[in-house]
Structure 1
Amino acid sequence: MDETPQPVRLTAGDAEVTVLPEAGCRIGSLRIGGTELLRQGLHYGSFPMVPWCGRTENGRFRNGAVTHQLPVNAAPHAIHGTGRDTVWHKVAGATPSTAAFYFDLADPWPYEGRVTQAFELTENELRISMDVETAKESFPAQAGWHPWFLRNLGGGGKDAVIDFAPAWQEERGADHLPTGKRIGPQPGPWDDCFGMPDGVDVTLTWPEQLRLRVKSPAEWVVVYDEQPEAICVEPQSGPPNGLNIAPRLVTLIEPLEITTVWSWERLG
């Protein structure tokens, strides 16, 4: 086991990814031809959301008859899981363009298990997968990613344009949680969850510079573009508050598995 994980740099052609296992196994940098695509900073890049995504109402969830309390880190809710605040460890067998990392679930998450995240970079795409396994007891969980894509790539270019065609939007209550009602997609700006039952498929286009496509077999995506610096496109295995409203059990015979692929092409 690596006691002091260091940044891991993956390369393929002129694509370069830097993974920060010591900082929640987030992607600290994604550069295409020397152009940075992710907002920089301690809380940005692209971080994994696990073992839950978005907000969990009042930090509480049930597993059968047992109610658990999570730390309230986005009052009055618990947000984005524990993985982003955890040191991950490198799995043996990395290559110049691939690497995998893991951490063991522990307090304040009430169940034992392991989360593994793997990265595979080619010249034109980045493939990421995440698996959640239990050590013994079954428990509800979620997994996903929270990338902060730069709204503007610099060099005098125009801001990114987002394009996607969701089947519905989860109506968002004043508490930022889904009300349980599905509505037609509304115009942005958004901090909202959308349903894409055929799989997440969202495109960001920086005119005359780059087109990036975010895909996932997952059926849910949160789009957050209320900050001027970035646009977040977050594929995830369930909606916000999903531990309560759409629980997906992780069992000994059925782990939670999720993947996403980011592909790109130059336009200039």
Structure 2
Amino acid sequence: MSTHETTEAAQEAGVRLAAGDAELTVLPGNGCRLGSLRVGGTELLRQGAKYGCFPMVPWCGRTAYGRFRNGGTVHELPVNSPPHAIHGTGRDRAWRTARASDTSAAFTYDLGAPWPYTGRVTQLVELSPDSLTLTMGVETYDDSFPAQAGWHPWFLRRLGPAAGDGPDAPVEISFDAAWQEERGDDHLPTGRRIEPTAGPWDDCFGMPDGVDVTLTWPGRLELRVTSRDEWVVVYDEQDEAVCVEPQSGPPNGLNTAPRLVTPIDPLETSATWRWRAL
């Protein structure tokens, strides 16, 4: 088998990491998403080509009507969730495996059309027996541009039957947000901050001291999602899975809270998932 064929096979099969009883599969050929995370033999992520956990880059959530401005220039993005553009382009690209060991791996892809600027995105994945740390960076090759980065995990609502007579109760989500972004009828933040409401949610919350959300599968597992970023979207409107999405800016942030990536100031964000058995 040629080196090219071997690389293609690895891209298709994924990069597998293991630490203690934790096993992770990253799929660089499918948007560099996490295809599987198993702890003690139990799968935590919803399975399927569109699920797992995918990186949101170079924007997170919805960008209004697929348009954003950089200085005096208005750019058009593909409207892949009409009437908006959603979740960036990174999840639709094949990434390159830059390096991999038993417990960590780094991946890259080059920004380009339909994104109107050139640059590079890097994702570092680091697994330990009780945690997973994800780090993403966005750099420009030329002009400065606004960008965002974050992650969109699909955590299983139920972990399935346990050995013996263990419980299969649905996950509970716990967090203490400083505010909630009021959501308009167009699913975009209105710009007004309100007191956090009870779920179900498809909403963005502000945590100025950093994202800190705990998921608990009663009697089974506790998983805590943390990030130094102050924005998190919580989505729990589906029966199969719930999403806790730490991100570097709010939905439509390319327009409302632009964070410029410049030649001397790349964007970097990270998130950690830490778990313990109950």
CA-CA distance at 1:224 after TM superposition: 0.2
Deviations 1:133-166 (A, max 9, x none): 0001000000000000001001141111110000
Q: Which runs of 5+ in 1 are unaligned?
A: none
2:144 paired with 1:138: yes
**2: distance between equivalents of 1:21 and 1:67?**
31
> Partner of 2:42 in structure 1?
35
Q: Which amino acid counterpart does residue 155 of structure 2 have in structure 1? A: F
2:264 paired with 1:253: yes
Q: Aligned residues: percent identity?
A: 68
CA-CA distance at 1:260 after TM superposition: 0.3
> Partner of 2:126 in structure 1?
120
What is the total number of aligned residue pairs between the two structures? 266
Deviations 1:203-225 (A, max 9, x none): 00001100000000000000000
**1: distance between equivalents of 2:37 and 2:214?**
16
CA-CA distance at 1:102 after TM superposition: 0.3
TM-score scaled by length of structure 2: 0.94
**Which of 118, 139, 159 is the equivalent residue of 2:170?**
159
Within 5 Å, which residues of 2 pair with 1:13-162?
Answer: 13-92=20-99, 94-155=100-161, 156-162=167-173
SS of residue matched to 2:154: strand
**2: distance between equivalents of 1:208 and 1:191?**
27
**1: distance between equivalents of 2:136 and 2:250?**
17
**1: distance between equivalents of 2:274 and 2:115?**
33
**2: distance between equivalents of 1:197 and 1:165?**
11
**2: distance between equivalents of 1:159 and 1:78?**
31
**2: distance between equivalents of 1:107 and 1:157?**
45
Deviations 1:86-106 (A, max 9, x none): 0000113x2100000000001
Q: Which amino acid counterpart does residue 150 of structure 1 have in structure 2? A: L
**1: distance between equivalents of 2:145 and 2:31?**
22
**1: distance between equivalents of 2:168 and 2:94?**
36
Q: Which amino acid counterpart does residue 123 of structure 2 have in structure 1? A: Q
**Which of 193, 196, 204 is the equivalent residue of 2:204?**
193
Runs of 4+ in 1 over 6 A off after TM superposition: none
Which is worse superposed, 149-158 or 81-90? 149-158
**1: distance between equivalents of 2:128 and 2:176?**
27
CA-CA distance at 1:194 after TM superposition: 0.2
Deviations 1:97-136 (A, max 9, x none): 0000000001000000000000000000000000000001
**2: distance between equivalents of 1:128 and 1:239?**
19
**2: distance between equivalents of 1:124 and 1:42?**
26
Deviations 1:49-104 (A, max 9, x none): 00000000000000000000000000000000000000000113x21000000000
**2: distance between equivalents of 1:53 and 1:262?**
19
Q: Which amino acid counterpart does residue 196 of structure 1 have in structure 2? A: M
**2: distance between equivalents of 1:229 and 1:130?**
27
CA-CA distance at 1:234 after TM superposition: 0.0
**Which of 241, 245, 249 is the equivalent residue of 1:238?**
249
Deviations 1:1-56 (A, max 9, x none): 96622400000011000000000000000000000000001110000000000000
SS of residue matched to 1:22: helix
TM-score scaled by length of structure 1: 0.98
**1: distance between equivalents of 2:168 and 2:82?**
38
